[in-house]
Amino acid sequence: MGFKRISQKQLETSLFPMFIGPPIRHIEDIKEIKTGATKTEKKVLTKASDVILEEIETLDYEFDKKGALKGFSGNGIVNVINSSSKDRLWDVNLHFSENKNINLDTTEKVRLGNFEPKTNKKINYNLLKSNEISTPLTVVQYIDVQQIDLQVLSDDPPADGAGTEIPVENESSESQQDGSENQGTHGKSREPLIADSTKKLGKVQDAIGRKKRQANLKEGKNILLLLLEKRNLVDFKISFENNTDEDITEIKVGKSFPADFYNIRWDSETISSIELKEKVLYLFIEKLAPGETAAITIHAEVYPRERKIIGTGSMQVSYLHENCLLSGLSLEKFSGYSHAMHAMKVKERETKPNVWNCSVLFRNNCNYNMKIKSMMVLDKEKKTSFLNEKYEDGDAVIVSPNETYTSREWEVSSKEEPKFYRKIIYSITSTQERKTQVNMQFEQDTFNIASIQLTKAFSKKEIKSFEISDIQNLVTIKNIGTIPVHGLIIHEEYPADFLPSLKEEKYKIRKNSGKITKDSTTVAVEPFNANHDMPHLVTISVNASKDAKKDLMDVNEFLEIRHEFKAMNPDYNNTYNFPLKIVVLYPFEMKGKDEKILYMIEEELSPEAMPILNVIHKRRNILVGKEIFAGRNIDEFGINLFVKNNSNVEIKDFKIEDTISTSFEILSSNVDYKIESMKSDKHQRILFLIDKILPNQEKEIRYYIKNKSGKVMDFDQLESFIYG
């Protein structure tokens, strides 16, 4: 840096920026300083430059799959820019208000020193994790599977007509059941009782209320479920709310979907810029005013074909918060200096010698606006104040480039030229730009798979018409999903002509890991009577009460229900169905001691998987005959016994007994036989066994006998008793 050579005249009269104070010698009036000037006079040669203070913060939020804050990082920058192409700055200082949310010491002023033209200096800092740092934009994602409802378990009594719980002992009811043989009349079809009972399960979705359900989901305590091997309709309802007093701009959203999702659609009344690219939905919201909310509902379908956990898809959100720093950092004072001149103007009055009019001149010789903060003028002893001006921010004096400001005048009497001490505090002005860039990363949640394997079997496949039969019923429920089952409600309907047991001890419930306690199980029959002329509904609840603390079935665990029912003279002309429907309760959320919210999924045994119980009408029609033929010799005879099955029933283990005299011996037989002695010594019994005779089949027994003595016997003596 060098020095410019100037002349004596320039030294005395010039207001060149390099010189501060009055001219060394007053030769002539300075053109810019006129008598009586009290206002700022402008002579702008060039457009004013700016000292730009860029204050930018970048905040990164990371939320877990339930919406809780998982990670936070933030950094900020204060960038001071000298935008002038010719003016230097010096002694630039920044004063910030105290702030505990950043790692910058704000108790001391920050000294940035001097700036050459077209240069900048930066102050970097990090944000500390603090509860005082909040997100201006509230993002809520609510996921709803349309096929799945909610069930509330509370202390409220059950709905009327939900069935009568079976007492532990009821001998009279059991004896009434066993002795009841009234056939009555039966209809061949009837509306199922299960549909009626399902409506009486208690408070379902309507009792919860939409707002309450969304609030529970928003808190992130819920478990998401999908149904295995079924088309699930999933709604993603996403809202964006500006909860600040400033505009939020340039909101960009990217919502991804796993490959399992298809047929993605959306509707929104507040967001217009929406585009789907390769399973990522892009949203753009130009601006949200304070308190304004934008929302979108995304519809998608998913068909889980195997038992695996499926993600909900991650989401990224970014936006700008103008005119705001979320850390709360505030610049209280900016000061800096550039080329300026101030001078004392003292002028003796024309008509009053030794009386002087005095004022202070301030000239801005740079391309920045300058702010005069205070002016003070004192006498030589610094006891008398002639000028003491302090300017507040609202009344600050702004001196534009190449502009001169003249203070108010005061009068001094002195034989010699008056001299003063003066102090002027001023600074260049700055343009402040503040904004916060916020990036939000939402981790994807996961869908669990809800699925059970349901089977039902009878101990008999056929029963006879118009007879009483005992049948064992076995229901097996296996959890083949990825989440434990909290409880079960089993509905079994028995048509007319059939009666379920009215004794609770007849219902045996167990699971592969052990038995079920009685406290966790209730059995109810509706109607509670032994009238087999009407259908009955059996409802078995296992671990479905509010007080149940633990889940009922873990993954891959199964539960068995065994009990007996009776066929009461069924009619083979009727068709009988035994519908089975269960309500599976999955954990959703616990809310204190008075209420428990659970997922409720209904499963029904398909007609193809339903056990078949045939009522057959079989009546036996048997013909048993005996024929006697003469033998080869006069003392030999052939006997033919035949059995003809003229019915549609297979006959098994058919026994025939024939009686002959002890004077005969058996020479041969086509069927195995056995001889038994009788009380009478004159006769003996021959026993034959036919293992089975098919319907409309005839079986013969032929055996050959001979008189032991060789004597001739009359034919009528061969006739004997036949039993069969």
Task: Tell me which residue has tokens 């019915």.
Answer: 647
Domain 160-200+448-586+598-616 has CATH 2.60.40.1510: yes
Q: What is the pLDDT of residues 172-186, one digit of tens each?
A: 333 334 333 333 333
Average per-residue pLDDT in the chain? 81
Res 132 pLDDT > 70: no
The pLDDT, as a whole number, for residue 328 is 85
The pLDDT, as a whole number, for residue 661 is 82
Residue 407 identity (one-letter amino acid)? S
The pLDDT, as a whole number, for residue 476 is 95
Q: What residue segments make up the domains of the chain, in order of their start? A: 21-48+340-434, 51-135+328-333, 137-146+221-316+437-446, 160-200+448-586+598-616, 622-723
Query: What is the spatial distance between Cα 231 and Cα 273, in angstroms, rounded to a whole number?
Result: 29
pLDDT category, 208, cuts 50, 70, 90?
Answer: very low
Res 629 pLDDT > 90: no
Residue 247 identity (one-letter amino acid)? D
Contacts of 486 (CB under 8 A, 6+ apart): 543, 548, 551, 552, 585, 586, 587, 598
b/e per residue 328-347 (b: at least 16 CB within 10 A): bbebeebbbbbbbbbbbbbb
User: How crowded is residue 104: how many other Cβ atoms within 10 Å of its Cβ?
Assistant: 19
Q: What is the pLDDT of residues 299-331, one digit of tens each?
A: 999 999 998 889 999 999 999 988 888 888 888
User: Could you tell me the CA-to-CA distances from 360 to 39, 389, 407, 409 in Å, in that order?
Assistant: 11, 11, 5, 8
Query: Which position has the higher pLDDT, 597 or 713?
Result: 597
36 DSSP assignment: T
pLDDT category, 113, cuts 50, 70, 90?
Answer: very high
The pLDDT, as a whole number, for residue 185 is 33
Mean pLDDT, range 282-292, rounded to an integer: 95
CATH class, range 622-723: mainly beta
Mean pLDDT, range 557-578, rounded to an integer: 91
506 DSSP assignment: G
DSSP 376-417: EEE-TTS--EEEEEE--STT-EEE-TT-EEE---EEEE-SS-
The pLDDT, as a whole number, for residue 492 is 95
Mean pLDDT, range 218-225, rounded to an integer: 67
Residues facing residue 561 across a β-bridge: 475, 509
pLDDT category, 341, cuts 50, 70, 90?
Answer: very high
Compute φ and ψ for 214, nearest 5 degrees: -65, -35
Compute φ and ψ for 172, nearest 5 degrees: -65, -40
The pLDDT, as a whole number, for residue 178 is 39
Mean pLDDT, range 386-402, rounded to an integer: 86
Mean pLDDT, range 23-29, rounded to an integer: 34
Of 109-118, 141-150, 213-222, 601-610, the one with minimum mean pLDDT is 213-222
Res 550 pLDDT > 60: yes
DSSP 579-604: -EEEEEEEEEEEETTTEEEEEEEEEE
Query: What is the spatial distance between Cα 94 and Cα 298, in angstroms, rounded to a whole number?
Result: 49
Query: What is the spatial distance between Cα 637 and Cα 719, in angstroms, rounded to a whole number?
Result: 12
Res 115 pLDDT > 50: yes
The pLDDT, as a whole number, for residue 33 is 30
The pLDDT, as a whole number, for residue 24 is 35
CA 710 to chain centre: 101
The pLDDT, as a whole number, for residue 195 is 44
Joined tokens for residue 554: 């873990």
Query: What is the spatial distance between Cα 596 and Cα 547, in angstroms, rounded to a whole number?
Result: 9
User: Could you tell me the CA-to-CA distances from 628 to 631, 637, 662 in Å, in that order?
Assistant: 9, 7, 17
Residue 272 identity (one-letter amino acid)? S
The H-or-E segment that residue 175 falls in is helix 171-179
Of 39-48, 61-70, 261-270, the one with minimum mean pLDDT is 39-48
Domain 137-146+221-316+437-446 has CATH 2.60.40.10: no
Of 545-554, 593-602, 610-619, the one with minimum mean pLDDT is 593-602
The pLDDT, as a whole number, for residue 582 is 94
497 and 577 Cβ atoms separated by less than 8 Å: no
CATH topology of domain 21-48+340-434: Immunoglobulin-like (2.60.40)
Using CB atoms within 10 Å of the CB of residue 404, give its burial: 0 to 12 exposed, 13 to 18 middle, 19+ buried: buried
Q: Does the fold of domain 160-200+448-586+598-616 match that of domain 21-48+340-434? A: yes
* Closest of 417, 365, 402, 326 to residue 57, by C-alpha: 326
Of 11-15, 28-32, 46-50, 152-156, the one with minimum mean pLDDT is 28-32
Res 366 pLDDT > 60: yes
The pLDDT, as a whole number, for residue 69 is 86
User: How crowded is residue 632: how many other Cβ atoms within 10 Å of its Cβ?
Assistant: 10
